[in-house]
Amino acid sequence: MESAQKTVERHVQELHPVYGQASAVLEHDQHLQCLEHRLVRLQSLTQLNQRISSSLHLDEVLHAIAQAAAILMQAPAASFWLANEATQMLEFHSCSNERAGADWPLAELSFAQGGAGWVATHRTILNVPDVFTDTRIAAHHWFRAHGFQSALLVPIMLEDTLLAVLTMVRAKPFHLDPDDQYMLDHLSAQAAVAIRNAHLYRDSENHRRRLRTLVDVTQRLTRGLDLSTVLQAIVEAAALVFEGEASLRLLDGDTLVRVAATPGSLASIVRSHVPLGQSLCGHVARSGQPLIVTDMTTDPRLFPDVRAALREAWLRALLCVPVQVGGRILGTLQVYRERDYLFGQADPTLATSLADQAAIAIENARLFQEVQNHATQLAGANTALQSEIAERQRAEAARQQLEAQLHQVQKMEALGTLAGGIAHDFNNILTVILGYTELSLYNLTPESNEWHNLQQILIASGRAKHLVQQILAFSRQSERQRQPVYMQLILEETLTLLRASLPSTIELRQSLATYAGMVLADPIQL
């Protein structure tokens, strides 16, 4: 028995060095596995750094960090809650497990809700071994449905600013050793810088897009001269730049009148006419300073009925800037966003720049309208002037015609006067001829040739006397004497005179009734 015991002790002593060597080998192997695990983690961090360095899009960056966190912490699902310290709200983003992320029931949390809200408020890591016994954790049914029981929530901080909360979940509790804590610290630092850069890139892109839109709007406004088209283009441009809705009011006397609005803004515009100095837009028009209101229903400057109506509206945040040119207020430009939306520090400046462009465009459109109206008035005046000129030309032509007729009448009157004078002198001569002819006839017998010759002189003198009377009638120097006259006698005498003046090649034939009756007329005028 003693011999066997000694044999066992001897074998134990012989194996003791081997055991020591085996323990050293096992310890070395464990250390090697730990180093390999750490190397894998470091490689994952390096790959993550490369991925987030090659992209500035926020969604891509968050998804890459969530996937890396899930691998590093051996968590089936990791996700982000983006923080908005101004509104004290968290927004769910980028889950590494698509199926689990699609089932998550909450899109937003306040800083007073859930485990993520607790971390956002206290800004420290929250390690929950059993979520079902912790009242700070929300959506227990989701954890149960996916077989998760533990949660690890890490604040992502950059200096003193909370950017996000990283959430990791798995079935087993998280036991953090120094190496785990180092990895979390390094991951949080990378995530903070990446999120900050993504935010800066997003803000830069938004600013560039807004400036490009502003340039496009400026070009559109400078090309347009129709006032209604320009006004609608202004509100559409403001809505596009600020990704909301917009309206425009112009000052008419002491009243701001809504002249243009995007369709989505109509629910937030209760009154179309607002007196100057009243309500929010009236205050801006009076002061000439921009105004930002996060919730119009809580602002006492609004009319009570307007505040009551806006409680049912979705767009309650307001950015209002004056539309002015040369220090003269033309109206106000309103931009509407959802309730509690926070406009950026550069937004009033951007809106004011847009309003200044709008003011110039409105003035140009008004001037163009005035020029058009003036041109229309000038065209009407020109038409009236042309009509007046044509009328005056017609009057001048009529006057010249009348003057020509007057000259002709004066000539005829002068000719008549001359003819009348000649006729008087000729009548005096005829009186002497007729007198001496009649005296000579008294001294001769009808059978003598001298009597017949004197008789012809008497007849010719009578005709001459009638001719003189016609000349006097033409010159209006004799009175008309109407008497019964046989027309056939007048015609026979006229034909006799006419036959003597016609060529011998022309034959006159007459057919006169013997008793054609008498007419009451002046023989000289016939």
User: Tens of pLDDT along the chain (526 residues)?
Assistant: 556 555 656 655 655 565 555 555 555 455 455 545 455 555 555 665 656 555 667 788 788 888 888 887 888 999 999 998 878 889 998 888 888 888 888 888 889 899 999 999 999 999 999 999 998 898 899 999 999 999 999 999 888 889 999 999 999 998 888 877 887 887 888 888 888 888 788 777 777 776 777 667 666 666 656 777 778 888 888 888 888 899 999 999 999 999 899 988 888 888 889 999 999 999 999 999 999 998 998 999 988 888 888 888 888 899 999 998 888 899 999 999 988 788 888 889 888 888 887 788 777 777 777 878 888 888 888 888 888 898 889 998 988 988 888 888 788 777 777 777 787 788 888 888 888 888 888 888 888 888 888 888 888 887 787 777 777 766 655 556 777 877 777 777 777 767 766 787 888 787 777 776 778 877 666 6
Whole-Å CA distances, 47 to 52, 124, 284: 9, 27, 53
Q: How far apart are CA 183 and CA 191, in angstroms?
A: 12
Please spell the DSSP secondary structure of 88-121, one letter per residue.
TEEEEE--SSHHHHHH---SEEETTSHHHHHHHH
Q: At a CB cut-off of 8 Å and minimum separation 6, what does 490 contact?
A: 523, 526
Residue 41's nearest CA partner among 181, 175, 147 is 181
Q: How far apart are CA 510 and CA 470, in angstroms?
A: 24
Written as one letter, the residue type at 367 is L
Q: How far apart are CA 76 and CA 263, in angstroms?
A: 46
* Cα radius of gyration rounded to whole Å, the chain: 61
For 312-352, list the strands marked E by DSSP: 315-325, 328-338
Q: At a CB cut-off of 8 Å and minimum separation 6, what does 462 contact?
A: 434
Neighbour tally for 375: CB within 10 Å? 10
Written as one letter, the residue type at 269 is I
User: 350 near 331, Cβ under 8 Å?
Assistant: no
For helices 178-223 and 227-242, what crossing angle results, to 10°? 170
Residue 166's nearest CA partner among 67, 42, 88 is 67
Q: How far apart are CA 128 and CA 152, in angstroms?
A: 6
What does the chain come to in residues?
526
Q: In what order do the strands lie in the sheet with 315-325?
A: 273-275, 255-261, 245-252, 328-338, 315-325, 291-293
Maximum Cα interatomic distance, the chain, rounded to a whole number of Å: 233
Secondary structure of 413-456 as H, E, C letters: HHHHHHHHHHHHHHHHHHHHHHHHHHHHHHCCCCCCHHHHHHHH
Please write the tens of the pLDDT for every residue from 306-355: 888 888 888 889 999 999 888 889 999 999 998 878 888 888 988 888 88
User: 237 near 354, Cβ under 8 Å?
Assistant: yes
Question: How high is the pLDDT of residue 255?
Answer: 93
Please write the tens of the pLDDT for every residue from 377-403: 888 888 888 888 988 899 989 889 888
User: 121 near 111, Cβ under 8 Å?
Assistant: yes
Q: CATH assignment of 52-205?
A: 3.30.450.40
Question: How high is the pLDDT of residue 521?
Answer: 75
Domain boundaries, the chain: 52-205, 480-526
User: 423 near 468, Cβ under 8 Å?
Assistant: yes
Helix (H, G, I), strand (E, B) or coil at 494: helix
Task: Return the percent helix, strand and coil in the chain, to nearest 5.
Answer: 60, 15, 25
Q: How far apart are CA 279 and CA 277, in angstroms?
A: 7
